[in-house]
Amino acid sequence: MTMPQPVPMRNQPRPNAADHAKLWILHGAAWLALMIYVWTAWVVSGDFRTNTTGRGSEPDWYVALIRGWEVFALVVSLVILWWFVVRPKLRTGRFGFDALFFLGCMALCFQEPWINWTAPQFLYSTTSINFGSWTAHIPGWTSPNSELVPLSLWALSAYFWLVGIPAYAGSRFMRRLRTRNAGLSNLRLVGYTYLAFCVFDVLLESFITRTQLFSYGSTVPALTLWAGTDHQFPIYETISWAGTYTVLASLHFFRDDRGRSLPERGIDKLRITSGRLRTFAQFLAIMGACQAGMLFTYNIPYAYWGMHAVMAEPFVAREWRTAGVCGPKTAYDCPAPNLPIARIGSPTNRIDR
């Protein structure tokens, strides 16, 4: 006689699911605490001020481009905020997953300037609206003069539309692939998505670097396309950033039948009676996962590349790009072969010849 087999319950939480959720919530809370500490220290220190070094020496076409781009960035950001966050909240009275996901992507702006941890590699311009950068107040930061980095406001808002939207689109792409081929393994699904993001990133970054909306000023020449020009592009950027996109798209796509992403699973087992507090806990878990994704796929690899990077001469000669962080008129020479890597506390890295 054949014994009937038990029917498995879909997405039944494991006994340690609550602990799993607690770890992700605490992880997100740690990130939030770090943000509050760093941004507060930045504002009260007096480093929160506009950097105008070299402003006025840029070509007129560039000034017009930046002003138009800043307006575009503001409009697009407000549209996305309305469509994915505010509008659903007004309709349902709660923040759904998409709202928390886009807010989590927006919080990644905290890591935007971390690419310059070991050396100035990523350049904005003093032409743009900026208030310097908060990186000098991050515990363990090593690169000097980082408070002068003119972190463009449009680059921060871009985490809605240059990060959140592509990640959301990547999730939809994964859904379409799975719909067309239900037997497609998760590994191949993620692999195809990563390759698609590689193509997308090359096209996107080609436009951005050619127009110099931002620039990869310091790169490893042997791993850089058009090395030495003002539109040079490191191929390892695509390898890393496509990885970040893929992590975010996977976070959005791989959800259970209750709509819970991986870091949220088990939250229902926690003794949280307040609906608002539960939503906040979900946000912390999602935001923390986003932060971990960007840290490990992008900023940690770039900390390594920064120790081997060389700044192209066209940027060294343009104060509105180097912004007083490095260069002939500062205490620190920009990254160059056989030049010591500048560190906070060292008076200079310049070698007298």
Tokens read off for 326: 């490095």
pLDDT tens per residue across span 24-65: 999 999 999 999 999 999 999 999 999 999 999 999 999 999
Contact between residue 255 and residue 178 where contact means Cβ atoms under 8 Å apart: no
Helix axes 235-253, 275-294, angle to 10 degrees: 150
Tokens read off for 103: 């807010």
Please indicate, yes or no, if residue 138 is contained in any of the structural domains. Answer: yes
Cβ-based neighbours of 344, under 8 Å, separated by 6 or more: 136, 141, 142, 143, 144
Residue 285: pLDDT band (50, 70, 90) is very high
- Give the chain's end-to-end CA distance (angstroms, integer): 92
Give me the domain span that covers residue 144: 19-322
Please indicate, yes or no, if residue 82 is contained in any of the structural domains. Answer: yes
Secondary structure tally for the chain: helices H, strands E: 12, 6
Residue 5: pLDDT band (50, 70, 90) is very low
Please indicate, yes or no, if residue 80 is contained in any of the structural domains. Answer: yes
Please indicate, yes or no, if residue 301 is contained in any of the structural domains. Answer: yes
Please indicate, yes or no, if residue 236 is contained in any of the structural domains. Answer: yes
Residue 293 has pLDDT above 90, yes or no: yes
pTM for the whole structure = 0.93
Number of domains the chain is built from: 1
pLDDT tens per residue across span 303-338: 999 999 999 999 999 999 999 999 999 999 999 999
Residue 278 has pLDDT above 50, yes or no: yes
User: What average pLDDT score do residues 240-267 get?
Assistant: 96
Cβ-based neighbours of 34, under 8 Å, separated by 6 or more: 110, 138
**Angle at the Cα of 305 (from 301 to 310), degrees rounded to 5?**
160
Please indicate, yes or no, if residue 248 is contained in any of the structural domains. Answer: yes
Give dist(CA 31, CA 292) in Å, integer.
9
Please indicate, yes or no, if residue 13 is contained in any of the structural domains. Answer: no
DSSP string, 281-332: HHHHHHHHHHHHHHIIIIIHHHHHHHTT-EE-HHHHT-HHHHTTSSSTTSSS
Please indicate, yes or no, if residue 186 is contained in any of the structural domains. Answer: yes
pLDDT tens per residue across span 160-184: 999 999 999 999 999 999 999 999 9
Residue 14: pLDDT band (50, 70, 90) is low
pLDDT tens per residue across span 95-144: 999 999 999 999 999 999 999 999 999 999 999 999 999 999 999 999 99
Our CA dihedral for 41, 47, 49, 52, rounded to 10 degrees, sits at: -150
Q: 144: closest CA among 155, 136, 152?
A: 136
User: What average pLDDT score do residues 6-19 get?
Assistant: 58
Q: Is 13 left (phi over 0), alpha (psi -120 to 50) or beta?
A: beta
pLDDT tens per residue across span 193-216: 999 999 999 999 999 999 999 999
